[in-house]
Chains A and B, each alone.
Chain A
Amino acid sequence: MGRVRVRVIVDKGTSVFDGVYLSVARGAFRRYSTYRAATVAGTVTNTVFGMILASTMLALWRARPGLGGYDAAQAVTYIWISQGLLVTVAVWGGGFQDDLQARFRSGDIAVDLYRPVDFQGWWLATDLGRAGYQLLTRGALPMLAGAALFDLVLPGDPLVWAEFLLAVALAVVVSFGLRFLASITGFWLHDSDGVRAAMAVVSMFFSGMLLPLALFPGALGELARVLPFSAMVQLPADVLLQRRTGTALLGLYGFQLAWGAALLALGRAGQTLAVRRVVVQGG
């Protein structure tokens, strides 16, 4: 079922585009589509967690209606959006990070540097390909299940969905920027697992994955709103729930773009430093 849609998009891509990075992104997309059992298991997990969390939220909102400016239906919708984004945006890490980590450990990272392709661009392309596949499976399917099981407030206007997809794409770029920084510490530390674990905790908390950021009190809420993590879950959810429209929506994209650009630039600087003093394990 998901497979049919996947093929159509891949074929369209082949005929229209012909660049290296598109080719890399397409390859990553197809590669993830070969992990069928993992996709099914992951989608079921997201759905089950969505059901548990949505029920919890319903109970919470019954006790405290209007919490954070959300009504109960919006709160439940928020939960399903965040479940759909969790893996698509790789909120707790993963995606290209696992491949990169494996390549640091095995020393295969050396091979990557022999190729006349940009290291950061290469991994960004693989991550966008991965996100594309996961949006169609682990993003869309739990949301469909959520819509079937709960009363969600989803927009009927296709334009809002398009705006949402743009916000998700930018969310993936911000997420990539953060994960890339965490991963390239591998050039110095040989093993970036510790950094990744710390990043995952912070990221889950400040992205709005656990609770909408509007529920964070005072200074903590202010902090959460300026950190890049909010670009990953809270902001795309705001777009779909239409909490930000018009100029506020432009501001939201601006925030995502600014953080995305800043993080990519930092990653690039880090990459330059790393390549300059590259020490490859083994080999």
Chain B
Amino acid sequence: MAVIEVEDVRRSFTVRTKEGRWRRGKREVRAVDGLSFTVAEGECVGYIGPNGAGKSTTVKMLTGILVPSGGRLRVAGVDPAARRAELARRIGVVFGQRTTLWWDLPLRDSYELARRIYRIPDARYRANLDRCVELLDLAALLDTPVRQLSLGQRMRGDLAAALLHDPSVLYLDEPTIGLDTVSKAKVRAFLRETNRERRTTVLLTTHDLTDIEQLCGRVMVIDHGRLVLDGPLERLHEIGGSERTLVVDLAEAHPPIDLPGVRVARTEGPRQWLAFPARQSAAPIVAAVAERYPLVDLSVREPAIEDVISRIYAGDPAAVPAP
């Protein structure tokens, strides 16, 4: 069953520009321009795109705080903008750079407030709080004022606050931004667990592609307000024309290696970087190099999805799938 339905949704903003000393011009910016997708219950979808691509605008429309200029939106069966308050009880929102927690008061007070705001039945509240406290390691922090928490601790605190009322949809906007490796791992483990066990539908916006690799079975890439890719993570590599890289160290500096199907991406003294299509086996290339050149050492690097995505963003025609 589709929990999120987006059909040809548009949103434009009017931006005033300065033209000369007194004159002001108006310019229309299409932040979201004909977006369509659906997300099924229990899915965890990565929603990525460069800054200004329309990610936040989409999330704002999905939560009902922004009315679309056109198109049709449904979240959990309701029109978000028309029934924002009702929907708010069924969704959770976490922004890595914002907080819903009560800055000067102990963490526990914010949870008590959430209990009242969302009218969470006592037993449910206690069970959910216990679960979050355990999984997010919050026990020692409950009585600490939020302003004294580290960023990672605060983020964990915010995640718990967003989940106490059992939302069926969770929007996450850069939940791991600024966190250290250990904190990132904790947050990801918690999200994986929540998505798997509670069947919470997750829409995850991030610039950290490790989040996507570890959490999301599906990824949507948005650019200039349109979806440029929607599919499983592996398809990103296919479509992006991903290349693997063979790094070879030769005995001495050589002119660029000339082999069919291999492109020399870079040379640096005796070291050369050989790029070849990701689906191709490295073995014959290694054999060919070893045969003709004084090979000292080698390593193979897997394609980084950052590269694939940055090529898609850059509008590389080879990388953008046909509609």
With A110-B65, A280-B60 already in contact, the answer to whether A27 and B89 are too (CB < 8 A) is no
Question: B65 to A34, Cβ gap below 8 A?
Answer: no
Contact with B along A246-283 (1 / 0, CB 8 A): 00000000000000000000000000000110111001
B residues in contact (CB < 8 Å) with A: 13, 56, 60, 63, 65-67, 84-86, 88-89, 91, 93, 95, 97-100, 102-105, 109, 112-113, 116-118, 145
A-B contact pairs, 7 of them (CB 8 A): A20-B116, A20-B117, A24-B113, A31-B102, A111-B93, A114-B88, A278-B65
Contact with B along A185-207 (1 / 0, CB 8 A): 00000000000000000000000
For the complex with contacts A111-B95, A278-B65, 12 further pairs of A-B residues with Cβ separation under 8 Å are: A18-B116, A23-B112, A27-B102, A31-B103, A31-B105, A34-B104, A34-B105, A111-B93, A111-B98, A114-B100, A115-B88, A116-B89
Contact of B116 among A23, A111, A279, A280 (CB under 8 A): A23
Question: B117 to A116, Cβ gap below 8 A?
Answer: yes
Question: A283 to B56, Cβ gap below 8 A?
Answer: yes
* Complex CA–CA separation, A265 to B183 (angstroms): 46
Closest to B116 in A: A20
Question: B117 to A115, Cβ gap below 8 A?
Answer: yes
Contact of B98 among A18, A27, A108 (CB under 8 A): A108
Question: A116 to B113, Cβ gap below 8 A?
Answer: no
Q: Which A67-126 residues have a C-beta within 8 angstroms of B? A: 106-108, 110-111, 113-117
Q: With an 8 A cutoff between CB atoms, is A19 at the interface?
A: yes
Q: Which of the listed residues A34, A35, A114, A275 has the most CB atoms from chain B within 10 Å of its own CB?
A: A114
What range describes how many residues of A lie at the interface? 20 to 34
Interfacial chain A residues near B60, Cβ < 8 Å = 110, 280, 283
Q: With an 8 A cutoff between CB atoms, is A30 at the interface?
A: yes
With A31-B105, A283-B95 already in contact, the answer to whether A114 and B63 are too (CB < 8 A) is yes
Interfacial chain A residues near B85, Cβ < 8 Å = 116
Q: Which A25-54 residues have a C-beta within 8 angstroms of B? A: 27, 30-31, 34-35
Question: A106 to B117, Cβ gap below 8 A?
Answer: no
Closest to B95 in A: A111
Closest to B92 in A: A114
Interfacial chain A residues near B100, Cβ < 8 Å = 111, 114-115
Interfacial chain B residues near A279, Cβ < 8 Å = 13
Interfacial chain A residues near B65, Cβ < 8 Å = 110, 113-114, 275, 278, 280
Q: Closest CB of chain A to B177's CB: distance in Å?
A: 13
Question: A30 to B98, Cβ gap below 8 A?
Answer: no
Contact of B93 among A18, A31, A114, A275 (CB under 8 A): A114
Interfacial chain A residues near B99, Cβ < 8 Å = 108, 111
Question: B63 to A27, Cβ gap below 8 A?
Answer: no
With A20-B116, A27-B113 already in contact, the answer to whether A110 and B105 are too (CB < 8 A) is no
Contact of B88 among A23, A116, A280 (CB under 8 A): A116
Q: Which A6-27 residues have a C-beta within 8 angstroms of B? A: 18-20, 23-24, 27
Interfacial chain A residues near B84, Cβ < 8 Å = 113
Q: Closest CB of chain A to B228's CB: distance in Å?
A: 22
Q: Closest CB of chain B to A18's CB: distance in Å?
A: 7
Question: B116 to A30, Cβ gap below 8 A?
Answer: no
Closest to A102 in B: B103
With A23-B112, A27-B105, A27-B109 already in contact, the answer to whether A276 and B67 are too (CB < 8 A) is yes
Q: Closest CB of chain A to B166's CB: distance in Å?
A: 14
Closest to A114 in B: B93
Interfacial chain A residues near B91, Cβ < 8 Å = 114
With A27-B113, A110-B65, A283-B95 already in contact, the answer to whether A116 and B118 are too (CB < 8 A) is yes
* Complex CA–CA separation, A226 to B98 (angstroms): 43
Interfacial chain B residues near A30, Cβ < 8 Å = 105, 109
Closest to B119 in A: A20
* Complex CA–CA separation, A30 to B108 (angstroms): 13
Closest to A20 in B: B116
Interfacial chain B residues near A108, Cβ < 8 Å = 98-99
* Complex CA–CA separation, A35 to B95 (angstroms): 28
* Complex CA–CA separation, A278 to B60 (angstroms): 10
Closest to B91 in A: A114
Leading 5 A-B pairs by shortest Cβ distance: A116-B88, A31-B104, A20-B116, A113-B65, A116-B85
Question: A110 to B98, Cβ gap below 8 A?
Answer: yes
Interfacial chain B residues near A113, Cβ < 8 Å = 65, 84
With A108-B98, A111-B100, A283-B95 already in contact, the answer to whether A34 and B116 are too (CB < 8 A) is no
Q: Closest CB of chain A to B172's CB: distance in Å?
A: 13
Question: B105 to A20, Cβ gap below 8 A?
Answer: no
Closest to B93 in A: A114
* Complex CA–CA separation, A20 to B104 (angstroms): 18
* Complex CA–CA separation, A78 to B66 (angstroms): 49
* Complex CA–CA separation, A115 to B95 (angstroms): 14
Q: Closest CB of chain A to B147's CB: distance in Å?
A: 9
Closest to B147 in A: A34
